[in-house]
Structure 1
Amino acid sequence: MCGIVAVHDPVSATGPDLDLGRAMLDRIGHRGPDGRGERAVGPTWLGHVRLAIVDLDAGDQPLGPADDHWAVVNGEIYNHRELRTVSGLHFASATDSDSEAALAAAVAGDLEALADLRGMYAFVVAHPDGRVTAVRDPLGVKPLYWARVDGATYFASELVAFDPAMRTRVEEFPPGHRWTPEEGLVRFRSLHVPSTQITDRDAALTQIRETLITAVRRRMMADVPVGVFLSGGLDSSLVAAIMASFADEVPGPVHSFAAGTAGSSDLIAARRVAEHLGLEHHERVYDADEVVSVLPDVVASIESYEPSLVRSAVPNYLLAEATAPVVKVVLTGEGADELFAGYAHFRDIVDAPDLREALIDGVSGLHNLNLQRCDRVTMAHGLEARVPFLDRDLVGLAGRLPIEWLLPGELGQEKAILREAFTGWLPDDLLWRPKEQFGDGSGTADVMLERAAELAPEDDWADQRVSRLAAPRSREELAYQRMFADHLAGIDQRVLGRFATA
């Protein structure tokens, strides 16, 4: 996990602007506290800040020379060892870094080679003949932004990296695409692939359980201790239970981390789960004053002002801050609600095709919402978050389930089929605990509502508007917009798209 910057300038007689590239990299230094590297390759400059997790000694970047091809990679390729032996890709470098699989796939130039990469990634490769390749994973788990200005193309992991003068030109790089100057954007893998529906419910329960177990074990790959963000809800508790069952596969004990206001339901439930599983548990308890004081940092880190995203980001941010000194990698429960219809608003959709479409839209839009929040609040503290529910196989499996199996069961409980699949893995009262939004269960939402008037006290808040941003929908949103504008001068609503207004 890292931060990357690239400048590709084939038109300037003096080559890429190294000082500009270095300034961009400075702005995202928080993403890589363990190292920094750069390399100029013809018309391309590559910059990288590293969070060392795999191949600690030899995994520095830019990665190369692979026959003089060089790469900067952000993310993890979970099947890199398999690809070394069965893919036919040429691994020219002499490291054990998982990022070599990304470099090898880009050098091959084959869309199928990119499609075979399993993991979360965004990377840029500079080729010896002056070409450049940029790639982002199909779900957009890892961020990538770009701007094209006067014949040059700039890439970075976060919006803040870009010089204020070019921020009106910044766009989100689309998930599941490869870009080269010669071919432009080309999709290399679709997120949702039509396939045969499962008809045997017992078989489905087995497949759900086995697929999630495999996804969690893949994401336990690390040369450093790992942990889990544990809210006490179903999704993170299942991840924790699987990690506890395979604890011998990671260095040291499995650590769990929970956050909330004193006495909040999340803290109580997480404590019980951790005790049941024998995890090494850590808590971050905070009060209303801490929530309000940290808000500008939270809004700046998530690069969004959407109120529900901010509310859920506050406990995540404080939790990541407390987690980073203990471990470098955490697994989370992101994505389960989109796959298995966990949100309350899905209950209002009575037509099966409409619900299916809503679930597809939910998964497809995660890169602008919860995945953005998850990446930013963790990387603000040099911490890597991994999302096993969004494993390719589990996303595909969820799409094969009959839609009626995703509706509340006899107990009226959301995600009933996921709960059934893991019967016996947790005490029943925890396995069937009703869902709460993270901001609610942690007690943060109550604090935010209480203090909203202090955040934007003007009586005429509805007439207020921050330049370039959408009209605020509430006093709370106006306050976050002002914090956002202080951090990202020049960013407009066109650049933000739906991830600021969903």
Structure 2
Amino acid sequence: MCRIYGHLGGNLAHHHLRAVSALQRHGGPDARFSAAGDDWALGNNRLAIIDLDGGEQPFKLGRDIQVVFNGELYNHKELRQRLHALGYVFHDHCDGNVLPALYHHYGLDFVEHLDGMYAVAIIDLRAEPKLVLATDEAGMKPLYYHWDRRHRQLYFSSELPALLSVPGPSWEESIGGLDAYLTTKTPFGEQTMFDQVQVLPRAATAVYTRDGGLKIDRRAKRDFPVVPTDLETAGQRAQYTLRTETHRLALADVPISTITSGGLDSSLVTALLAEKVPHVHAFNIAYTGDWPFDEKRYAREVARLSGARYHQIEADPAEFPKLMDEVVWHLGQPNADPITLSTYLLFQGVSEAGFKVTLSGDAADEIFGGYGRIKKALTDGDGWDRNYVDALAAIPSATRNALYTEDYRDYLRDNGSEFDRIVGQLRAGSSDRLAAITEFEVDQRLPAYHLRRVDHLSMAHSVEVRLPFCQTSVTDLARSLPTDLRVRGDEVKRTLYAAARGLVPDSVLNRPKQPFTLPITAMLADGQPLLGYARDMLASGHDGRLDPQAVEGLIKTQAANPNDESALAIWSLLIHRIWTRQITCQGERRAA
């Protein structure tokens, strides 16, 4: 696991490369490597997980093929054996060292042979210098880039602040970014909050040359023909597939831990990992005081049943205002889910306990049909798609539009809103409603909203997160299930519940689903420090897109009658305000 960066075209000074590396050192504190030519550079900050004494990057094949890599390749041993038989020589056992030979032998099809999570960058100097970038099937490892067409330069990095530190890309926010953020809690697809920075989509290979420009190819979407089966058989298949992948993901030369929230998904991963790693350490986060959504008793029971060693991390809500600036900075752009603070503190606790690797249950809801909005969309009438998109929002459409100024509403009418874009995409999707929703969840929401958040906040503490539910075999199995084996009536994730029986405590299986999040409605009640902080922060800094009086009215409503909708709206605006203050400061520093 690493942080990577580089460019083709231009000539970054040595101090610029060092600055990019320094801004990502938290994600790779064990070593720093780089290489550069006349108009290119590659660099990496290493978090040593496999072959602790090897792993020097860029990995090279002669002088003409050089590779930097962020992630883990779970099939690297098989690939090394195959390539060795073809005559290639390897000087260490690090997983990424197979990449130059794999690219040399298979060309751009090298990604078809990779099993794991990855962001790869290759400089190929054999003819016209070429930069190749590639991301994994799920989008677990983000890769941001800035393409300067006029000067024929492309820069990339694992994190936004690092990329924006080089000359060229602007810290200026996209005008439509606020609407995209408030509509979906963070920008989806290839867009970011910055006008001049994009993110490479999942399952993508990009090729850049100075003369040919940038060409991005998405790997062909796989078909998921429905496989008729019964619930018991589906549960057995899901359990077997998850067990196989969870055990494979236990490969490391450092100790492995697990996240146990007390919900179904992480509990099942913990139980399966404990079969492979006896007395595995399991981590849970809770909050000091008496708050809603406390899951620690369930997490303790999961750990006890599976034989895991339980660690309880407790966060003090009184400290949250001091923490928010740091969390927003590591994310690089706003994410309105209050879970960001919990996630940051959880991985801090994992790191402080001495672990570099942990497994989590993320992505189960997207592929097995676990969200209430999915269940509702399957029974809604003609307006299901609009209701579904509104359920994604940080602020529902009616409230959102009331918060915008008339000028900003005019802009969105002229240029298109994020709401209308997503509704149009859903309507253009499969006639099978669950298939269309799942495609959107997996392709758009999961990488942007979940996986980048997990990546940035774990690597902020030098922790690698592995995700069994993102493994291709698990995703393919889930998406081949008939609708009623995923969602039926009020039942969600039916196959996953069947898979967990006998492995997970009945108390977890039978409890109502609840969000793993920060209880912000209670924390933003009148008299709580968080509401006072939000009131102070939102009293200034409006840029013509938000109506100050409408924002003030929202805060008054929450103080008089705390409720989930206004609490999340205030939280979302607060996160955006913190972020805009950060980018304004950075822009001013650059101008100076």
Q: TM-score range by the shorter chain?
A: 0.7 to 0.9
- Greater Cα offset, 202-211 or 113-122: 202-211
| Aligned-pair CA distance for 1:113 | 2.4
The Cα offsets for residues 300-334 of structure 1, whole Å up to 9 and x where unpaired, read as 122232322xx111111111111113210000111
Q: Which residue of 2 aligns with 1:279?
A: 308
Give, in whole Å, the separation in 2 of the partners of 1:307 and 1:154.
27
Give, in whole Å, the separation in 2 of the partners of 1:3 and 1:464.
33
| Aligned-pair CA distance for 1:115 | 1.6
Give, in whole Å, the separation in 2 of the partners of 1:35 and 1:451.
41
| Aligned: 1:465 with 2:542 | yes
| Aligned-pair CA distance for 1:22 | 2.1
- AA paired with 2:141? K
- Greater Cα offset, 483-492 or 341-350: 483-492
| Aligned-pair CA distance for 1:392 | 0.6
- Greater Cα offset, 100-109 or 238-247: 100-109
Q: Which residue of 2 aligns with 1:205?
A: 235
- Greater Cα offset, 29-38 or 66-75: 66-75
Q: Which residue of 2 aligns with 1:126?
A: 123
- AA paired with 1:146? Y
Partner SS for 1:166? coil
For the 8 Å contact 2:21–2:32, the answer to whether it is kept is no
Q: Which residue of 2 aligns with 1:496?
A: none
Give, in whole Å, the separation in 2 of the partners of 1:259 and 1:265.
9
Alignment of 1:30-41 (within 5 A): 30-41=26-37
Give, in whole Å, the separation in 2 of the partners of 1:459 and 1:27.
26
- AA paired with 2:137? P
Question: Which of 436, 440, 447 in structure 2 is aligned with 1:357?
Answer: 436
- Greater Cα offset, 117-126 or 448-457: 448-457
| Aligned-pair CA distance for 1:16 | 4.3
Q: Which residue of 2 aligns with 1:166?
A: 169
Question: Which of 235, 240, 250 in structure 2 is aligned with 1:220?
Answer: 250
For the 8 Å contact 1:295–1:314, the answer to whether it is kept is yes
The Cα offsets for residues 71-130 of structure 1, whole Å up to 9 and x where unpaired, read as 111001111112223467764431111112333333335343212211111121122433
Question: Which of 327, 341, 346 in structure 1 is aligned with 2:374?
Answer: 346
| Aligned: 1:429 with 2:507 | yes
Question: Which of 441, 458, 464 in structure 2 is aligned with 1:384?
Answer: 464
The Cα offsets for residues 321-373 of structure 1, whole Å up to 9 and x where unpaired, read as 11113210000111000011111111211258222211221111211101011
For the 8 Å contact 1:227–1:256, the answer to whether it is kept is yes
For the 8 Å contact 2:285–2:346, the answer to whether it is kept is yes
Q: Which residue of 2 aligns with 1:137?
A: 136
Partner SS for 1:437? coil
Aligned residues: 476
Alignment of 1:14-413 (within 5 A): 15-66=11-62, 68-86=64-82, 91-129=88-126, 130-149=129-148, 150-163=151-164, 166-167=169-170, 168-182=195-209, 184-187=214-217, 189-190=219-220, 192-201=221-230, 202-247=232-277, 253-262=279-288, 265-308=294-337, 311-325=338-352, 326-350=354-378, 353-365=432-444, 366-408=446-488, 412-413=490-491
Structure of larger gyration radius: 2
Name structure 1 gaps, 5 residues minimum.
493-502
Give, in whole Å, the separation in 1 of the partners of 2:478 and 2:43.
38
Give, in whole Å, the separation in 1 of the partners of 2:86 and 2:71.
19
Give, in whole Å, the separation in 2 of the partners of 1:290 and 1:459.
16
Give, in whole Å, the separation in 1 of the partners of 2:100 and 2:546.
38
Give, in whole Å, the separation in 2 of the partners of 1:61 and 1:287.
40
| Aligned-pair CA distance for 1:58 | 0.9
For the 8 Å contact 2:538–2:573, the answer to whether it is kept is no
| Aligned: 1:484 with 2:579 | yes
For the 8 Å contact 1:146–1:171, the answer to whether it is kept is yes
Q: Which residue of 2 aligns with 1:499?
A: none
Give, in whole Å, the separation in 1 of the partners of 2:458 and 2:76.
24
Name structure 2 gaps, 5 residues minimum.
171-194, 380-430, 552-567, 588-592
Give, in whole Å, the separation in 2 of the partners of 1:280 and 1:379.
23
Give, in whole Å, the separation in 2 of the partners of 1:425 and 1:146.
43
| Aligned-pair CA distance for 1:468 | 9.0
Going from structure 1 to structure 2, the CA distance change for 1:435 and 1:470 (only over 3 Å counts) comes to farther
Partner SS for 1:71? strand
The CA RMSD measured in Å over matched residues stands at 2.7
The Cα offsets for residues 41-71 of structure 1, whole Å up to 9 and x where unpaired, read as 4532111111000010011222224564221
Give, in whole Å, the separation in 2 of the partners of 1:356 and 1:139.
17
Give, in whole Å, the separation in 1 of the partners of 2:76 and 2:120.
15
